[in-house]
Every structure is written in structure tokens, then in C-alpha cells.
Structure 1
Amino acid sequence: MVILTGNTLTIEAVRTVIYGKERVEASVESIKAVEKSHKAVKRIVADGKIVYGINTGFGKFSDVMIDADHVRDLQLNLIRSHACGVGEPFSEVVSRAMLLLRANALLKGYSGIRPLIIDRLIEFLNRQIHPVIPQQGSLGASGDLAPLSHLALTIIGEGKVMYKGQVVDTADALNEEGLCPLELEAKEGLALINGTQAMTAMGAVAYLEAERLATVSEMIAAMTMEGLNGITDAFDEDVHLARGYKQQIETASRMRAYLKGSRLTTRQGEMRVQDAYSLRCIPQVHGASWQALDYVKEKLEIEINAATDNPLIFDDGAKVISGGNFHGQPIALAMDFMKIAVAELANISERRIERLVNPQLNDLPPFLSPEPGLQSGAMIMQYCAASLVSENKTLAHPASVDSIPSSANQEDHVSMGTIAARHAYQIIQNAMKVVAIEWICAMQAAEYRGTEKMAGFTSKLYKTGRELVPSIEKDRVFSGDIETASQWLRKMQNDHLTNIR
């Protein structure tokens, strides 16, 4: 059971809820804070005090006053009008993350929402009722308005949900579960959609996949070292202590562990004095990507425990402030950083693939072909990797440097953080396929060198790989092999390697 307090959620807890379907519950203390905040909103409405989003319009309409009799209509109209997302829906995993993060943020007690609304978000999580939320349409400031509006629609019994493996009308799922649609009261619609939970949920899922990718990319790089008789002196601890980066030191340590006992690697001067950068600089390059990922994790763990709606209610309603915590700039920049870090893991992996298949760079059969010339072997797998790497370079263009004014220039600078998070996820999927291609090529190279000479760790990785992807004894359609290998690598981390770092 994961207990939500609004302040203590971690990325690891997010993992257990969204992937492991761990049940969720709100802490007693956080519910008390929510109740106090809601009472403050009720007093504001009763006293006729003018407060943005409670009894005013939204955005450029913030100066339009709303009668007390229409406060509920205001919230309903808000949700319906803002639910204009387009494109393919987020995955169920991301939808679960959005439910979790929105509930946790509201439990901080600054939003004026009833506990009943938060209970429904948690109930959806625990009963696996997942809102169908289109991916496109958010500017990443004023909150993720369009995506979160599609989430909010399901609270009032509208829109669609993923339920028992099918997309159904929310009303049908609620009816089957014996639940009634909820009617939103003052500020509740705004509190549900004014936040960064779409970009943060997508970002958290992307981070977890990137962490997995960074881990398996090192393992496969170790096998490539064997396939190319790489020089292990470059991983000597003294080299990395001399520079001082923690993540670089840790990467070198893991490389030494993966290659322990190998009779395929070499020492400085045995075959050559030094290797190319894509081998020699694995700790420096992969370590730098780990630095970026650690930064991203730090920002995500702040954001998943942040109050990001507007206005925020303090001191039992004595202080209600319209601010800008909904602005997604911190996550937008973090996602753009992650895009670059992951793209680099694919870049250096593709360079290692080239060294495995190019006969001018090694003494292996050209393109690892069983009959060079008659059969192309891994030639076009390197093409595929190069294509994916090039695509990543376009996706890595920072989304956060763009901004388009909205709401008649009231909202004149936005983050585009949700675009950044979505593109980060795409880059990670492409990069995993590049790493899978390196794995296939590294296994083939290891066979030419002699698999009996492999290190204990890489030998196990080789045996597992060969259960998935047969040796290249003649040309075949390799597309399925790449997909099979990449999907296994994604699953491998979840099942076996969560704590490898």
C-alpha cells in the first residue's frame, strides 16, 4: 500500500503504483488539510468575496464576475470547453500516473477541493479505471489544461476510460463498478486541470524507461568490448577518480564488473595502444548521461509533490494568491535535458555498431556476414540504427525554447513541457532499438571470437540473447529480431535489475 501525503511520493513509489498496480490510500492528516481548504472556499462563496477561478471567469475572462447561482455551471463549462485534446491517447501507464500525481498534489491542501474528488481519483487507480487522455494539445502553462480536462471529464461521468482491456464510455464503467458521477463545486474543476500532471506523468514514465535504457546499454557495451577485443585499462578506477564525477566513476566500476574474467578483452599495448572513443570513453559519455538522469529524477521528485494549481489557498482562506505554479518550465527543461542525454546513449551505441560491422575498423568478417558478398549480414541493421539516431537528433531539439502566447496574450509565455516529455519518450523508444541492434551485433562478434572466453556476466547475457535471437547463419528478415530484443531489454530491467545501480 502506498500512502499519499502530498509531500512524500517518490519515483520508486510511482513505479510500484503504475506498473505493479500497488493500491493507494490518502493519509488521514492530508485529508484534514484538504477539508480545511475546502471550508475556506465555501466561506469565500458565501461571503461573495471575488476570487479568481471561484467566482470569476478564466484566463482573459478573469475580470468577469460569476453569480453564486452559477458557480457549479462555471466548473462544468470549464471542463467541457477545455477538453479539446487531440491525437493518440496516452498509454494506460501514463494515465495511471496522471491520476496518482493529481491526487497527491491535491492532498497538499492548498486547492479548496472536497476530499470526495480525491477519493474518486484514488478509487479510479485502485479499480483500474483509466481515463482516455489525448496526448496533444497542451502548452505546458496554465497547467496541462487539455489533457487534465479529459481526466476531469471522467470524474463527472463523461468522456471515455480504459476499463478491463477496452475503451468504454465512462458512464458504463461507473455503472458496472456501482459508482455515481460527481458534480463539481466551486473551484473544483479548475483545481483538477490547473497543474503539470500530464507532462510530469509522461516525464516520470519516460525517466523510468530511460533509467532502464542506460543500465542495459552499459551491459551491451561490455559485450561489444569483448567482440572488439577492447582495452580495459580505460576503465581503471584511478583514471575516473582523477576526474571526480560520481556517475563516471560508477559506470567504470560497473564495466569492470561486467567484464571480470573475460579472456576476450585486452590490455594496453597487447594488440593496440588505445581504443576509439566509443569504447574508451564509455564511462565519460554514459556517466554524463547518468548525471542528466539524476538531475531529471531530482526535478521530478520535487514536481510530483508540488502544489501546481491556481489560485492557492493559505491560512484557512485568509490568503488566496493567484500565482504561476502551473507553469511547466522546470519539467520542460528537465525533459529537454533528458532528450539530449538519451540521444547520446543511442549515438555512441550506433558508433559501436559501426565498429562491429565495418571491416576497415576490425578483423571480423565484413558486416558480420556468414558469406560476405553473397549475404549482407548486419549491414542494414547499422542503417536502421543510423536512421533512428538521426530521427532522435530532430526530436532532441528543445521544446522549451518555443513559446506561443494564448488567451488573448494573458498567458504570454508557455513551457511546451508536455511536448518535451512526449518527445523524450519517443527518443527513449528509438534508443532502445539502437541498443538492441548493438546487442545482436555484439553477440555475433562474440561468436567469432569464442563465446567460451566471455566474462561470466556477458556470457549469461549472450545465452539469454540467443534464446531470443538466433545466430546469423544466413540472411533473414531482421526486423522481428530487433523488436524482440528491444522488448526483452525493456522487460529485463523491470523484472531483474531495478536496484542494479
Structure 2
Amino acid sequence: MIVTPGSATLHELRAVMEGEALALPMGWEAPVEASVNALAARIAEGEALYGVNTGFGKLASQRIAGADLAKLQRNLLRSHAAGTGPCLPAPVVRLILAMKALSLARGASAVRPQVIAQLLALLEGGILPAIPAKGSVGASGDLAPLAHMALVLIGEGEAIIGEEVVPGAEALRRAGLAPLELGPKEGLALLNGTQVSTALALAGLFTAEALWLTALVAGALSVDAARGSDTPFDPRIHALRGQPGQIRTAAALRALLEGSAIRESHRTGDARVQDPYCLRCQPQVMGACLDLMNHAAAVLTREANAVTDNPLVTAEGEVLSGGNFHAEPVAFAADNLALVLAEIGALAERRVALLTDPVLSGLPAFLVREGGLNSGFMIAQVTAAALASENKALATPRSVDSLPTSANQEDHVSMATGAALRLAEMADNTAAILAIELLAAAQGVGFHRPLASSTPLEGAIARVREVAAPWDEDRHMAPDIAAVKRLVERGAFTGFVEGG
């Protein structure tokens, strides 16, 4: 797949993350070489250039001798590779390599073409640098994790090949690659940037989108299980408000419920005038989530295509020091995605609580006959509540936090990497909540037999029943939750939503 630097789409980025090969278009080297030549001319003039012939951060006033410029870049990678914690997952590392190559290939970073080619070679060969997940504050870029990435290019650090962790030099040898000798600024360009936080946020976005679709299916199924109304999804209601996500969500819920015999059985003569909010207000809540996801997608697409190292070299040969490495846009996007994941799970948990309450649902208590002898879904709802509560704590905004670093030179930071890193844990919690709701809603619909739900919702029930039998009497609940959660994580329910 050929991707033009500066023009990558979310579809292309997701494909790379999932394993598709990445190539650059013909002629990409020309602007890259021009920036290298421009920087070389400025160095030859004896000008002090940050990170090129000076120290870094608070040490920027220290001039470095010409004979030590290569050593300066090596030392930078070694000293900044100070991360900790478990390594980032392979799909995220693939995306980091791809975005770093695309950013450098825009020709504003004064990095030689062979550096970019080495990044692409690692990606193509499945040689993924071992990058500890923690250690970045999201300004000046993702320094520590990107330093771990860059070490492999010079034959140091560690890489993961399949399931094997090997020294960086061995990884290059297996790929037939030689360690790079870094030129002026190249080490700084490699580790200065927002690619790690952006990759984590993009992974969170892709997961949130799939969970959002799954939640629509689970929510619609809960409406039928609780003999709820589809009137709240009437397009006239949502047109009067005009929120685009709300309008789209209502349309999706209408399509999911269309043709349900359960709905038709109580269209007239229903004593319940209005459903609880967790059923009735799905378009308003899930629509707001959709609008936030769309905003985050736009921000992250721009960031994935951006040049975010420092200093930058213009087409006219000027060297400009700035702050594109500050990941505040990514931090805000990640915080919004955290809100989305928390709200998807919170609304789903409330529907599970409704279904298990006989007063609200009209169904047997805890969705099981012979209550008392059987506890049914009693503790499954407790599990959902625990996970929803955990997500609320995890959703606390990280972008409002800042802790000065580098002897107060870097006195305001974004915390974008931590903001994006916690999305995976939140998504895991939300997937489990949705698995519990799918089990509960499928169980609830079973009490309305022989009436059938709609075609797509019956398809969703069949998918649940492939891995979990109806609940006739108490049995070990955890395996059912785990089995349906695996389906949720594979996106097994997203296809039931029109356009999903």
C-alpha cells in the first residue's frame, strides 16, 4: 500500500496497524534530501542550532564540537531510553514506525532518506522495537518511548520478532540491515514527536468505534427484552434537535428494531408511558459519543500526518525552533475517547440493572426462573457495576495535569501518552460490560418466546448462543462472559448495524 506523506487516511493507518505493508510514492526522497542539504549549509556557517550542535533542553546553551556531533546523537538516544513498564503491543508499534517514517518523509526534519528507509525496513520485516509503555509526558514529544524505538536503528536496544525478544544488533542482522551512523539532528528528529501518544490514541479510537456499534446492538436488544418503546427513536424528535450523532444513532436503533414481533405485541395498551433513560435516551447519549469520536478522528488524522519534531527546516532552508512536539491536541482527543468509553459502559450497565430488576423490566428477577434457588444474573450485574465504576475513575482528564520537567525548561506538558495509554484498559472493561448486557438481553428476549425480535437482533442472539446457552439454572457465569467478550473484541456484533 502506497501512502503519501502528509495525506494518510484513517483507513490506511488502520491497515498498517493490522499488518499491511507500507510504501512511499516515487520521488519522496527529493524534499528529504533538500532539508538535509539546507541544514548542512547552516552547520557549515557555524551557526548555533538547537539539538544539532548544542545540548538539549536546559543544556541548550552548551555548544558541541563538530567532531562530536555523531556522538551527541547516539548519546541522546541512549540517555533518553529511560522508559519502564510492559512493552507496547505489536499493532501500536507498527503504527509508531509508520507514522514516524511518514512524518520524516515530509522533508522538514533534515533526516537522510536512509533513516526513513530503515524504519520502513523494520516495519516490512516484522522487526518491532521493544518500547516500554510508560515514561512520556507528551512534551517534548514522546521522548523515552521513541528513544527505545530509535535505538534499534543503530543496533542497540531490543526488538521483538514474533514472540522472541532479541538485541537490536541481532534484529538488524537477521533482516540484513546495517546499524545506522546518525547524522546531525537525526537522533533528535527520531525521538522528538507525538507518534507514540497518537498511535495509542488511534488504537483507542478504532476500538471505541467497534464498541459503540456493539453497544447499539446490545441496547436495541435490551429495548426488546424489556418490552420498551421505539417511539423515542422517531426521526422527527431528533431532527428538531439537530445533533448529527444523535440523528444517526436514532436511525441505527430504528433499523435494528424494525420488524420485531415483540415490539408489535405491545404497541397498544402498554401501561408504561415512558421508558427509563437508559433505553429512551440512547440516541442522545450514544449520539454525543459518536460526535466526540468523529472529532477525535479528525484531530488524530491531522496529527498522524503532522511534522512534530523540533527544530524544523523549511523549504527555504530556514531552521525554526518551535513546539509542535507538544501533544495537547492528542491529550484532548484521548480524554474525549475516555469519556466515550466510560459513557458507553455506564449506559450499558444501567440497562443490565434494569433487565435484572423485575419491577422495571417485568421479567423474572435476575433473569432466571425459580429465583431464590437460582441467583441468575445477580452478580453479573455487580461485575458490570464494578467495571463501570472503574472506568469512571479512569476517565478523569489527564490533559489538565502537568508536571514541569527538564529543570523547568519544559514547564507545561500534555500528559497525552498516559491519556491514550489508559484507553486500552477502559476498552477492556467496556467490552466485558457489553458482553454481560448481550447475555442478559438475549436471556430476557427468551422469556417472550415464541415472539421473535427483528432479523438483525435475532442474528445477534444466535451469535451469543453459539458460545453461551440460555440460563435455565445457576452455573459458572465467568466462562459465558469471557466467551461473549471475545466475540465483542473481534467485532462479531458490529455488522448487525446498518453501515457499521
Query: Which of 190, 194, 207 does residue 205 from structure 2 map onto?
Result: 207
What is the alpha-carbon distance in structure 2 between the residues aligned to residue 390 and residue 481 of structure 1?
22
Partner of 1:153: 151
Residue of structure 1 equivalent to 2:311:
311
- The 3 A distance-change label for structure 1 pair 197 and 493 is farther
Q: Name 1:87's counterpart in structure 2.
A: 85
State the secondary structure of the residue aligned to 2:409: coil
Match of 1:339 in 2: 338
CA drift at 1:91: 0.5
Q: Quick check: 1:83–1:150 contact (8 Å CA) kept in 2?
A: yes
Please give the per-residue CA displacement for 1:425-467, whole angstroms capped at 9, x wherever unaligned.
2212211111111001001001111265111000011011100
* Structure 1 counterpart SS, 2:466: helix
Q: Match of 2:258?
A: 260
- 1:473-492 aligned within 5 A: 473-492=472-491
2:463 counterpart residue number: 464
Shift of 1:272: 1.7
**Structure 1 residues 452 and 498 mapped into 2: Cα distance closer, same or farther (>3 Å)?**
closer
User: Which whole-Å deviations, capped at 9, do the CAs of 1:236-266 have from their partners, x for residues lacking one?
Assistant: 1111111111111111111111111101124
Alpha-carbon distance in structure 2 between the residues aligned to 1:458 and 1:170: 50
Give the CA deviation at 1:341: 1.8
Establish whether residue 143 from structure 1 lines up as the match of residue 141 from structure 2.
Answer: yes
Q: What is the alpha-carbon distance in structure 2 between the residues aligned to residue 386 and residue 186 of structure 1?
A: 54
Structure 2 length-normalised TM: 0.97
The answer to whether the Cα contact below 8 Å between 1:148 and 1:192 also exists between their aligned partners in 2 is yes
1:286 and 2:295 are equivalent in the alignment = no
Q: Give the SS at the match of 1:24.
A: coil
Work out the CA distance in 1 between the residues paired with 2:29 and 2:151.
23
Shift of 1:316: 4.0
Tell me how far apart the structure 1 counterparts of residues 268 and 29 of structure 2 sit (CA, whole Å): 63
Structure-to-structure mapping, 1:324-335, within 5 angstroms: 324-335=323-334
2:170: which partner in 1?
172
Cα distance change, pair 167–476 in 1 and its aligned pair in 2 (3 A): farther
Q: CA deviation at 1:285?
A: 0.5
Deviations along 1:20-62, one digit per CA (max 9) or x if unpaired, are: x211111234321111111112222333221101100000010
Q: 1:452 to 1:268 in 2, by over 3 A?
A: closer
Contact 1:364 1:448 in 2 (8 A): yes
2:28, 2:378 → 1: CA distance?
A: 59
Which amino acid is the alignment partner of residue 388 of structure 1? L
Give the SS at the match of 2:210. helix
Q: Which residue of 1 aligns with 2:94?
A: 96
Task: Report the secondary structure of 1:110's partner residue.
Answer: coil
Aligned position for 1:408: 407
In the alignment, what sits opposite 1:441?
Answer: 440
Tell me, yes or no, if the aligned pair for 1:349 and 1:435 is still in contact at 8 Å.
Answer: yes
In structure 1, the residue matched to 2:355 is: 356
Q: Which runs of structure 2 are paired with 1:7-22 in the superposition (5 Å)?
A: 7-19=6-18, 21-22=19-20
5+ residue gaps, structure 2, are none
Letter in 2 for 1:323: G
| Equivalent position of 2:276 in the other structure | 276
CA distances 1:469-491 after superposition (whole Å, capped 9, x unpaired): 12112222222222221221121
Change beyond 3 A, Cα 1:388–1:14 = same
Q: Secondary structure in 2 aligned to 1:179? A: coil
Q: What CA distance in whole angstroms lies between the structure 1 residues aligned with 2:55 and 2:161?
A: 34
Decide whether the 8 Å contact of 1:129 with 1:163 is kept in 2: yes
Q: What does 1:121-136 correspond to in 2, within 5 Å?
A: 121-136=119-134
3-state SS, counterpart of residue 8 of structure 2? coil
After alignment, is 301-310 or 159-168 more displaced? 159-168
Query: What is the distance in 1 between the residues matched to 2:235 and 2:71?
Result: 66
Q: Residue 75 of structure 2 aligns with which residue?
A: 77
* Range moving further from structure 2, 434-443 or 491-500: 491-500
Q: CA–CA distance in 1 between the matches of 2:402 and 2:393?
A: 18
CA distance in 1, matches of 2:463, 2:472: 18
**Alpha-carbon separation, structure 2, partners of 1:426 and 1:484:** 18
Give the superposition deviation at 1:282: 0.6
CA distance in 2, matches of 1:153, 1:487: 36
% identity of equivalent residues: 41
Contact kept in structure 2, 1:133 and 1:151, CA below 8 Å: yes
Confirm or deny: 8 A CA contact 2:201 2:334 kept in the other structure. Answer: yes
Equivalent pair of 1:268/1:274 in contact (CA under 8 Å) = no
Structure 1 distance, partners of 2:407, 2:14, is: 40
Q: What SS does the aligned partner of 1:87 have?
A: strand
**RMSD (Å), alpha carbons:** 1.6
Match of 1:50 in 2: 48
Amino acid in the other structure paired with 1:293: M
The one-letter code matched in structure 2 to 1:163 is I
Give the corresponding residue for 1:453. Answer: 452
Q: Name the amino acid aligned to 1:301.
A: T
Structure 1 residue runs without a partner (length 5+): none
Which residue identity is paired with 1:264? I
The TM-score with structure 1 as length reference comes to 0.97
Rounded to whole Å, the distance in 1 between the matches of 2:52 and 2:496 is 48
> What per-residue deviation string (whole Å, max 9, x for no partner) do you get for residues 278-299 of structure 1?
0011111100000100010010
Note closer, same or farther for the CA distance 1:50–1:497 as it changes in structure 2 (3 Å cut): farther
CA displacement at 1:497 relative to structure 2: 7.5
Change (3 A) 1:232 1:439: same
Match of 1:210, as an amino acid?
Answer: A
- In 2, distance between residues paired with 1:220 and 1:479? 19
- Gap change, CA 1:494 and 1:439, over 3 Å in 2: closer
AA aligned opposite 1:183? E
Residues 153-162 or 269-278, more deviating: 269-278
What is the one-letter code of the residue matched to 1:86?
Answer: T
Answer yes or no: is the 8 Å Cα contact 1:264–1:454 preserved in 2.
Answer: yes
Whole-angstrom distance in 2 between the partners of 1:309 and 1:374 = 64
On the 8 A contact 1:237/1:252 being kept in 2, the answer is yes
**SS of 1:168's equivalent?**
strand
- Asked if structure 2 preserves the Cα contact closer than 8 Å seen for 1:231 and 1:268, the reply is no
* Residues 196, 177 of structure 1: alpha-carbon distance in 2 compared, 3 angstrom cutoff: same
CA contact (8 A) 2:487 2:493 kept: no
1:121-147 superposed Cα distances (whole Å, 9 cap, x missing partner): 111111111111111110101000001
1:383 aligns with 2:382: yes
Deviation at 1:496, TM superposition (A): 5.0
Identify the range of structure 1 (326-335 vs 167-176) with the bigger mean alpha-carbon deviation: 167-176
Alpha-carbon distance in 2 for matches of 1:101, 1:496: 29
Instruction: Describe the SS at the equivalent of 1:135.
Output: strand
* Corresponding residue of 1:197: 195
Instruction: Give, in whole Å, the separation in 2 of the partners of 1:269 and 1:279.
Output: 19
**Contact 1:385-1:434 at 8 Å conserved across structures:** yes
Q: CA deviation at 1:495?
A: 8.8
Tell whether the 8 Å contact from 2:338 to 2:423 is kept in structure 1 after alignment: yes
Worse-matched range after superposition: 373-382 or 27-36: 27-36
Q: Contact between 2:256 and 2:496, CA under 8 Å: does it hold in 1?
A: no
Q: 1:410 to 1:285 in 2, by over 3 A?
A: same
Shift of 1:500: 2.6
User: C-alpha distance in 2, partners of 1:350/1:308?
Assistant: 40
> Take 2:499 and 2:289, find their aligned partners in 1: how far apart are those partners?
16
Letter in 2 for 1:425: A
